[in-house]
Structure 1
Amino acid sequence: MMNWSGATKVLPKNCSTGISGYNISPEQFRFYNENGFLVIKGLIDFESLYAYKRQFVAVCNGTVERGQLLTIVREPSLLGKGLKPEDYVNKLHDICYDEVFGRYVEDPRLLHVLSQFIGDEITAVNSMLINKPPGSERHPPHQDLYYFPFRPADKIIAAWTAIDPVTIENGSLFLVPGSHRANTIYPHGNIGIKKKLYHGILNEEQLAPPQRVIHLEMEPGDTVFFHPLIIHGSGPNITNRYRKSMTCHFMNSNCQYIDVRGTVQDGIVREIEAEGRRRGFEVSFEDQWRYKSKQVKGHVRSNL
């Protein structure tokens, strides 16, 4: 296990976070293609981060209308302890249509970087505010493409922005550099995590051994962009501080939906469709993703 301090030498600080955006250098493209991730320092401003944090607390406390799509996910191990909501809510899911959170997925600085990786027609497909309160558990190593029924993988990318300072102790992201280059979705399953839909790779000892894992310690506003096939997760929060972040997966709007039933993704397909039925709607895996996606740049595509 090591801290990826070397990344700061090849990933320079963003000197211009205005509307003109941040231009990715050839060296940074090479770094991303080889390692599967790229960190840009200070991409998102403090005022935006504070607005997201304030809206999170308001949603948790029920003082604002959260709409039908936004879902509150709670940390099972922290429930029933008389805590305030901010101390047991793990994440807000599908936030891209929220008036405040939606500003993140449409932030011009973010979109400018994304367009350099996946093109100018961009759809937000999986938006979250993640809160790791004190005492929250580890998120096991996994690959995001395991959850997605659209391709190609190289036209999908995640953005993850620190709201609070991120350290190993409060649950920083960890990942296996270069693991995306195998171009493989590995078998996943429920490996003892009590939270629904938290699957992890089944062969962690071989695919994510400690000597290959690196940890991303970040400051507020720092943003990491990463490939949907990279193996990654996050540690437990053993501090008395929160670790909040904004994150969203984006795809080029020309990506195609495919049927992944009967593949290594079959388990998550069944679980997500079963969760939909539990909530009272019979919607296919693919259509659930279509329903909660949002075009954020370019022209709306008919395949969405």
Structure 2
Amino acid sequence: MTPGLSDEQLAHYDRDGFHLAQELFDREEIELLRRSAKEDKQLDDHSFGRGDGEGGTVRLSLWNHPGQGIYGAFARCERLVAAAEQILRDEPYHYHSKMIMKDARVGGAWAWHQDYGYWYGNGVLTPNLVSCFIAVDPSTRQNGCLQVIRGSHQCGRIHHKLTGEQAGADLERVSEIAKRFEHIHVEMDPGDVLFFHANLLHRSDQNASEHPRWSMICCYNAKSNDPYKESHHPRYTPLDRLPDSAIKQIGAQRFSGDQTEMAWLDPKREASARQLEEDA
């Protein structure tokens, strides 16, 4: 299954700054990801929190290199990488992935921001990057689904400043943008994927519900957009793509007890990503 984006969908992405691909991953695939993440002590131990300035804390785990395990199978699968290549009009490489752990009753909010608002400081010269938000749990208004401002990527990079422990976009400017562009709550079922532009304004509310809202986000940069300096996230590194069938194959191996060479996190390669924990 590698349908890619149609010309119409790609045009809508360029216009709106995002595209929602429903049921991109089937129930078996997303259940392998959900079970792997929620039973993964290493993922939990690697997580760190960011205060949202509203009394809540966002918990996440972040890594730079996709690895050989189930998380890498998703980040390297042809389904995601081919779509990223269409969107970027260039060879994509894995910039980083993260698991957002918005737990029931305690999951914090994300302030309005643009991903390029962060990545600009990493030596990335243009916003030609794409994030792929994979819903692991149902994502609803009640448990703090992603919100976007349609077309806001056309406004260019906005100044960001600290909101709690997060860098948020200048609220005066966000307020004016919201008067002219549509504000959307993106509700998603497990297996849905939202592709969105690095300059798209997005946020999420705290999770006040009884239901968790975990999601995995795979971020890709264009080869021609290789950062000019070293930072927390990698410079151009060729991506070893996998066929879509690898997700179920690796997932089955994950729970068979045979996890040789399946570790998702290589401590030596993730030194820069771990620096983000120390800065948290």
TM, length-normalised to structure 2: 0.73
Contact 1:105 1:296 in 2 (8 A): no
Report the alpha carbon displacement of residue 126 of structure 1 after superposing the two structures with TM: 2.2
Q: Which stretches in structure 1 are left out of the alignment for 5+ residues? A: 1-17, 78-87, 260-285, 299-304
1:218–1:180 Cα change, 3 Å: same
2:26 aligned partner: 45
1:142 maps to which residue? 113
Identity score, percent: 24
Q: CA deviation at 1:220?
A: 1.0
- More deviation, 131-140/164-173: 131-140
Give the count of matched residue pairs. 230
Are the structure 2 counterparts of residues 150 and 52 from structure 1 closer, same or farther at C-alpha, using a change threshold of 3 Å? same
Alignment of 1:132-281 (within 5 A): 132-135=102-105, 136-148=107-119, 149-154=123-128, 156-182=129-155, 184-191=156-163, 193=164, 196=165, 198-203=166-171, 204-208=174-178, 212-258=182-228
Match 2:234 to one of 290, 293, 302: 290
In 2, Cα distance between the equivalents of 1:92 and 1:25? 33
| 1:120–1:297 CA contact under 8 A, matched in 2 | no
Residue matched to 1:272 = none
Alpha-carbon shift at residue 141 of structure 1 (Å): 0.6
Q: Do the aligned partners of 1:42 and 1:223 also contact (CA within 8 Å) in 2? A: yes
Q: What amino acid sits opposite 1:169 in the alignment?
A: Q
Structure ranking higher on relative contact order (CA contacts 8 Å, 6+ apart): 2
Separation in 2 of the partners of 1:131 and 1:200? Answer: 19
Note the C-alpha offset of 1:34. 1.0
**Residues 1:114 and 2:96 aligned together:** no
Range with greater deviation from structure 2 (24-33 or 50-59)? 50-59
SS of match in other structure, 2:238:
strand
Match of 1:276 in 2: none
Which stretch of the first structure deviates more once superposed, 101-110 or 41-50? Answer: 41-50
Partner of 1:266: none
Tell me, yes or no, if structure 1 residue 92 matches structure 2 residue 61. Answer: yes
Give the match for residue 263 of structure 2: none
Of the structure 1 ranges 132-141 and 216-225, higher mean CA displacement relative to structure 2 is found in 132-141
Amino acid in structure 2 at the alignment position of 1:200: G
Corresponding residue number in structure 1 for 2:97: 127
Structure 1 residues 185, 248: closer, same or farther in 2, change over 3 A?
Answer: same
Query: d(CA) in 1 for partners of 2:27 and 2:175?
Result: 39
Aligned residue for 2:35, secondary structure, equals helix
> TM-score, structure 1 length as denominator?
0.68
SS in 2 for 1:257: coil
Relative to structure 1, the CA distance from residue 211 to residue 108 in structure 2 (aligned partners, 3 Å threshold; closer, same or farther) is closer
Contact 1:152 1:256 in 2 (8 A): no
* Aligned twin of 2:246: none
- State the superposition RMSD in angstroms: 2.7
Unaligned runs of 5+ in 2: 242-280
